[in-house]
């Protein structure tokens, strides 16, 4: 029995050793090959969709420069839906432009990673507009009378969109300022330098719906940052300070918009250690400011136009011009607790003359907080840059208030006009920052 056990043990050992020595081949990597050749650029394709109507892309596509048989475009994926901020949309670009492809499918990042080259067979798909931005998609509405562009059904995607080779380098973002962004940049990856957020310490998005946040660059120009309530960074807070912002550029009915792919698109961000004493954009009221009317029935009011919100004052009413003197006054500030105080704001004006003195900015350390401000002593701020007209919002620049002292300091915007040359003034993005002692 002992001999049999020994023989059995040796046999098992040999079998185990044989198993350990056996080599297994690793599965080979499947490299996709589209087998297609692009015969139309993205830019040229977009010229074919020259109207807001849907355009069925057939076997022959007529562009602005050529007639294309069996049209195919090639592009590189410049974004991802992995974070949840981009939804059922594939953005691709070539060296001529970018375009979005609406696809009725989630988790596209599993197949179409950033840097993936793709070919799109266009025949049978549609070009159309959503909010003024052109995209490739399918019918959304009643056939055969489609009313708008929709997503390509999932079952059709593999017959039209083909990966080619393994993902390569991500597209290099285009360096842009907010004012230089144009329709040619739509659906392209762009980088904005030295920008900051208006709504510092607010979450990127509410839990209820996609939320717009305002991005401001060093010139004072603004645009919308679109944040989905399904983004995995929704609850993160918008940081203070400034840095570079990368994202996919879009437009919606003329409003400039940016979609970041995830928080890595906030680059070289330098947090602001200054304390914000005033941060007012008059989103729904006059906020922390109050108005006082010395002359005339017209007063400062909260108003808006497009995505801009502001305090507005005018002596013009229903075709008539009225003399007015009206003050927009801040809450009291104890500036003795701070140093390096810096003020900035933006103004827009129309129907007046640049430099006519109808809007002036003051500080006071002896205003009572109520009643006629003319009973107090006010010091005019003369270094601010104001709008020159045509409702063009203009940044004041950074105004040094470090010389202003007092435990009860007020900031005020004074509007005054006669019955001729009556302007309308708008004020927003008022910020006062300082370093605590």
The verdict on 294 and 414 lying in the same domain is: yes
> Are residue 409 and residue 283 in the same domain, yes or no?
yes
Please check whether residues 187 and 155 belong to one and the same domain.
no
CB atoms within 10 A of CB 86: 25
Give the distance, in angstroms, between the CA of residue 313 and the centroid of all CA atoms in the same chain.
29
Indicate whether 142 pLDDT > 80. Answer: no
Task: Indicate if 129 and 224 belong to the same structural domain.
Answer: no
Look at 2-11, 111-120, 264-273 and tell me which has the smallest mean pLDDT. 2-11
Query: Average of pLDDT values for 229-255?
Result: 95
Domain co-membership, 141 together with 192: no
Tally of structural domains, the chain: 3
Residue 63 within any structural domain of the chain? yes
CA 408 to chain centre: 38
Whether a cis peptide bond, with omega within 30° of 0, leads into 94 is: no
Which residues lie across from 331 on neighbouring strands?
none
**57 and 119 assigned to the same domain:** yes
Domain presence at residue 36: no
- Other beta carbons less than 10 A from residue 315's beta carbon: 26
CATH of the domain at 210: 2.40.50
Residues 148 and 297 in one domain: no
129 inside domain: yes
Q: What percent of the chain has pLDDT over 90?
A: 78
Name residue, tokens 């475009």: 73
More confident residue, 280 or 55: 280
Cα–chain center distance at 160:
30
| 43: phi then psi, degrees, rounded to nearest 5 | -60, -45
pLDDT above 70: residue 10: no
In this structure, the answer to whether residues 421 and 282 fall within a common structural domain is yes
346 in any annotated domain: yes
**Model pTM score:** 0.66
Give the CATH number of the domain where residue 284 resides: 2.60.120.200
Tokens of 75: 């592009």
pLDDT band at 144; cut points 50, 70, 90: low
Residue of higher predicted confidence among 83 and 53: 83
pLDDT, one tens digit per residue, over 327-369 is 999 999 999 999 999 999 999 999 999 999 999 999 999 999 9
Are the C-beta atoms of residues 185 and 191 closer than 8 Å to each other?
no
Q: Which residue range is the domain that position 201 belongs to?
A: 174-271
Structure confidence at residue 121 as a pLDDT band (50, 70, 90): very high
H or E segment to which residue 197 belongs:
strand 189-197
User: Which of 206, 237, 271 is the endpoint of a domain?
Assistant: 271
Same domain for 267 and 288?
no
pLDDT at position 272: 79
Q: How far apart are the two ends of the chain, measured CA to CA in Å?
A: 92
Q: Quick one: 109 and 206 in the same domain?
A: no
- Exposed/middle/buried for 253, CB within 10 Å: 0-12, 13-18, 19+? exposed
Same domain, 258 and 291: no
Q: Is residue 35 part of a domain?
A: no
């Amino acid at each position: 029995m002992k001999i049999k056990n020994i023989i059995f043990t040796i046999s098992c050992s040999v079998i185990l050793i044989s198993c350990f020595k056996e080599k297994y081949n690793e599965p080979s990597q499947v490299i996709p090959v589209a087998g297609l050749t692009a015969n139309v650029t993205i830019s040229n394709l977009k010229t074919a969709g020259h109207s807001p109507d849907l355009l069925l892309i057939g076997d022959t596509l007529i562009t602005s420069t050529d007639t294309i048989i069996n049209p195919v475009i090639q592009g590189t994926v410049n974004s991802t839906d992995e974070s949840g901020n981009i939804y059922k949309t594939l953005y691709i670009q070539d060296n001529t432009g970018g375009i979005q492809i609406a696809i009725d499918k989630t988790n596209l990042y599993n197949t179409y990673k950033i840097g993936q080259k793709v070919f799109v067979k266009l025949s049978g798909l549609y070009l159309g507009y959503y909010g003024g931005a052109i995209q490739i998609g399918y019918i959304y509405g009643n056939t055969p009378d489609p009313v708008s562009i929709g997503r390509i059904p999932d079952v059709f995607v593999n017959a039209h969109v083909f990966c080619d080779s393994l993902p390569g380098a991500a597209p290099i973002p285009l360096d842009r300022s907010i004012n230089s962004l144009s329709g040619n940049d739509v659906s392209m990856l762009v980088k904005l330098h030295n920008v900051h957020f208006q709504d510092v310490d607010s979450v990127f998005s509410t839990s209820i719906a996609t939320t717009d946040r305002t991005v401001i660059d060093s010139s004072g120009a603004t645009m919308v940052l679109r944040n989905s309530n399904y983004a995995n960074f929704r609850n993160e807070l918008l940081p203070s300070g400034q840095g570079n912002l990368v994202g996919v550029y879009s437009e919606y009915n003329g409003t400039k918009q940016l979609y970041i792919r995830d928080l890595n698109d906030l680059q070289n961000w330098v947090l602001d250690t200054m304390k914000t004493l005033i941060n007012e954009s008059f989103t729904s009221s006059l906020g922390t400011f109050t108005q006082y009317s010395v002359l005339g029935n017209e007063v400062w009011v909260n108003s808006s136009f497009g995505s801009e919100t502001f305090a507005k004052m005018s002596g013009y009413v229903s075709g008539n011009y009225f003399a007015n003197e009206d003050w927009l006054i801040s809450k009291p500030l104890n500036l003795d607790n701070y140093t390096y105080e810096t003020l900035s704001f933006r103004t827009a004006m129309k129907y007046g003359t640049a430099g006519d003195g109808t809007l002036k900015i003051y500080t006071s350390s002896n205003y009572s907080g109520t009643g006629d401000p003319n009973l107090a002593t006010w010091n005019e701020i003369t270094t601010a840059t104001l709008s020159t007209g045509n409702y063009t919002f203009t940044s004041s620049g950074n105004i040094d208030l470090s010389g202003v002292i007092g435990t009860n300091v007020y900031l005020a915007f004074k509007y005054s006009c006669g019955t001729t040359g009556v302007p309308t003034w708008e004020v927003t993005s008022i910020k006062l920052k300082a370093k605590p002692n």
